[in-house]
Amino acid sequence: MDNYLIFTILAGVLALAFAFFLSNSISKEDPGNEKMAEIAGHIHDGAMAFLKTEYRYLAAFIVIVGAVLAIFVKWQTAICFAFGALFSISAGYFGMNVATKANVRTAEAARHGQNKALKIAFSGGSVMGMSVVGLGIFGLGIMYFIFGGNMEVVTGYGLGASSIALFARVGGGIYTKAADVGADLVGKVEAGIPEDDPRNPAVIADNVGDNVGDVAGMGADLFESYVGSIISALTLGAVLFTNKEGAVYTLLLSAIGIVASIIGVLFARRSKASNPQKALNSGTYIGGAIVIISSAILSNGIFGNLKAFWAIAAGLVVGMLIGKITEIYTSDEYKSVKKIADQSETGPATTIISGLATGMYSTLWPILLICVGVMVSYFIMDGKTNPTMGLFGIALSAVGMLSTTGLTVAVDAYGPIADNAGGIAEMSELPHEVREITDKLDSVGNTTAAIGKGFAIGSAALTALALFASYAQAVNLTNIDLLNPITLVGLFIGAMLPFLFGAMTMESVGKAAKEMIEEVRRQFNTIPGLMEGKAKPDYKKCVDISTAAAIREMILPGILAIVVPIGVGLLLGKEALGGLIGGAVATGVLVAILMANAGGAWDNAKKYIEGGQHGGKGSYAHKAAVVGDTVGDPFKDTSGPSMNILIKLMTIVSLVFAPIILKYGGILISLLK
Which 509-568 positions form the footprint of a second copy (CB under 8 A)? 509-510, 513-514, 517
Return the number of other C-beta atoms located less than 10 Å from residue 503's C-beta.
Answer: 12
Residues in 607-626 at the binding interface with a second copy, rule: CB under 8 A: 626
Question: Side chain identity at 475, as an amino acid letter?
Answer: V
Could you tell me the smallest distance in angstroms from the CB atom of residue 387 to a second copy?
Answer: 7
Q: What CA–CA distance (Å, rounded) separates 327 from 347?
A: 25
Among 229, 630, 644, 654, binds a second copy (CB under 8 A): 630
Radius of gyration, alpha carbons of the chain: 24
Per CB under 8 A, 296 contacts a second copy: no
Could you tell me the smallest distance in angstroms from the CB atom of residue 486 to a second copy?
Answer: 7
CB nearer to a second copy: pick between 287 and 373: 373
Per CB under 8 A, 665 contacts a second copy: no
The distance from CA 428 to its chain's CA centroid, rounded to whole angstroms, is 31
Among 104, 170, 337, 374, binds a second copy (CB under 8 A): 374
Among 64, 349, 531, 535, binds a second copy (CB under 8 A): 349
Q: What CA–CA distance (Å, rounded) separates 374 from 393?
A: 8
Per CB under 8 A, 387 contacts a second copy: yes
Q: Draw the binding track, 183-202, toward a second copy (x: CB under 8 A; -: no contact).
A: --x-----------------
Could you tell me the smallest distance in angstroms from the CB atom of residue 254 to a second copy?
Answer: 23
Report in angstroms the alpha-carbon separations of 350 from 318, 342, 357, 633, 654: 33, 9, 10, 18, 42
CB nearer to a second copy: pick between 222 and 506: 506
Among 1, 500, 531, 563, binds a second copy (CB under 8 A): 500
Which part of the chain contacts a second copy (CB under 8 A), choosing from 42-50, 124-132, 361-369, 436-444?
361-369
Residues in 195-234 at the binding interface with a second copy, rule: CB under 8 A: none
Short-list 260, 4, 261, CA closest to 129:
261
Could you tell me the smallest distance in angstroms from the CB atom of residue 376 to a second copy?
Answer: 9
Per CB under 8 A, 476 contacts a second copy: no
Residues in 153-172 at the binding interface with a second copy, rule: CB under 8 A: none
390: Cα within 13 Å, side-chain hemisphere: 13
Among 451, 480, 512, 577, binds a second copy (CB under 8 A): 480
Per CB under 8 A, 375 contacts a second copy: yes
Could you tell me the smallest distance in angstroms from the CB atom of residue 426 to a second copy?
Answer: 24
Task: Note the residue count of the chain.
Answer: 673
Short-list 385, 140, 363, CA closest to 251:
140
Could you tell me the smallest distance in angstroms from the CB atom of residue 294 to a second copy?
Answer: 26
Per CB under 8 A, 364 contacts a second copy: yes
- Asked if 9 contacts 142 with a C-beta cutoff of 8 angstroms, the reply is yes
Report in angstroms the alpha-carbon separations of 631 from 170, 547, 634, 636: 17, 22, 7, 9
Q: What CA–CA distance (Å, rounded) separates 326 from 448?
A: 11
Among 165, 170, 311, 489, binds a second copy (CB under 8 A): 489
Which part of the chain contacts a second copy (CB under 8 A), choosing from 217-225, 238-246, 287-295, 469-477?
469-477
DSSP string over 371-401 = HHHHHHHHHHTTTTT-HHHHHHHHHHHHHHH
Could you tell me the smallest distance in angstroms from the CB atom of residue 364 to a second copy?
Answer: 5
- Coil, helix or strand for 59? helix
Among 110, 312, 589, 645, binds a second copy (CB under 8 A): 589
CB nearer to a second copy: pick between 37 and 353: 353
Q: Widest CA span of the chain, in angstroms?
A: 78
Could you tell me the smallest distance in angstroms from the CB atom of residue 474 to a second copy?
Answer: 12
Per CB under 8 A, 298 contacts a second copy: no
Per CB under 8 A, 356 contacts a second copy: yes
Per CB under 8 A, 481 contacts a second copy: yes
Among 268, 495, 520, 560, binds a second copy (CB under 8 A): 495
Per CB under 8 A, 352 contacts a second copy: yes
- Asked if 217 contacts 54 with a C-beta cutoff of 8 angstroms, the reply is no
Among 103, 587, 644, 654, binds a second copy (CB under 8 A): 587
- Asked if 553 contacts 511 with a C-beta cutoff of 8 angstroms, the reply is yes
Per CB under 8 A, 600 contacts a second copy: no
Could you tell me the smallest distance in angstroms from the CB atom of residue 41 to a second copy?
Answer: 32
Short-list 155, 86, 147, 82, CA closest to 659:
155
Residue 481 phi/psi, 5-degree rounding, is -85, 115
Alpha helices per DSSP H over 527-639: 539-572, 574-610, 620-634
Among 114, 229, 330, 343, binds a second copy (CB under 8 A): 343
Could you tell me the smallest distance in angstroms from the CB atom of residue 122 to a second copy?
Answer: 34
* 478 DSSP assignment: S
CB nearer to a second copy: pick between 41 and 485: 485
Contacts of 436 (CB under 8 A, 6+ apart): none
- Asked if 187 contacts 200 with a C-beta cutoff of 8 angstroms, the reply is yes
CB nearer to a second copy: pick between 86 and 590: 590
Torsion of CA 86, 592, 371, 154, to 10 degrees: 10
Among 465, 564, 645, 658, binds a second copy (CB under 8 A): 465
Q: What CA–CA distance (Å, rounded) separates 640 from 502?
A: 7
Total binding residues toward a second copy, as defined by CB under 8 A = 83
Among 30, 64, 270, 492, binds a second copy (CB under 8 A): 492
Residues 477, 653, 502, 559, CA torsion sign: positive
Which part of the chain contacts a second copy (CB under 8 A), choosing from 137-145, 209-217, 276-284, 360-368?
360-368
DSSP string over 86-152 = HHHHHHHHHHHHHHHHHHHHHHHHHTT-HHHHHHHHHHHHHHHHHHHHHHHHHHHHHHHHHTTT-HH
**Burial class of residue 605 (count of CB atoms within 10 Å of its CB; 0-12, 13-18, 19+):** buried
Which part of the chain contacts a second copy (CB under 8 A), choosing from 222-230, 420-428, 438-446, 475-483?
475-483
CB nearer to a second copy: pick between 191 and 477: 477
Among 10, 193, 328, 367, binds a second copy (CB under 8 A): 367
Residues in 98-137 at the binding interface with a second copy, rule: CB under 8 A: none
